[in-house]
Amino acid sequence: MTDDGDDGQRFGADHAWLYVAVVTAAYILSRGIAKAGVRKPDHDVDSDRDASGRAR
């Protein structure tokens, strides 16, 4: 529920949606930065096995 601004508080739906958009953008940006820091290991244990599951 938001205020329509008639009583001087000046927090209407437009301000609420602006804050939602800013928080959402900040969250998406932070997740992108967090995922950019995750790296795949250089040596994958499963890649040392052939199709039958035996070690090479």
DSSP code of residue 45: G
pLDDT tens by residue, 6-34 = 666 677 888 889 999 999 999 999 998 88
Angle, CA 32 vertex, CA 19 and CA 43 arms, to 5°: 160
Instruction: Note if the pTM is more than 0.95.
Output: no
pLDDT in tens, 29-50: 999 888 887 777 666 555 556 6
Distance CA 7, CA 10 (A): 8
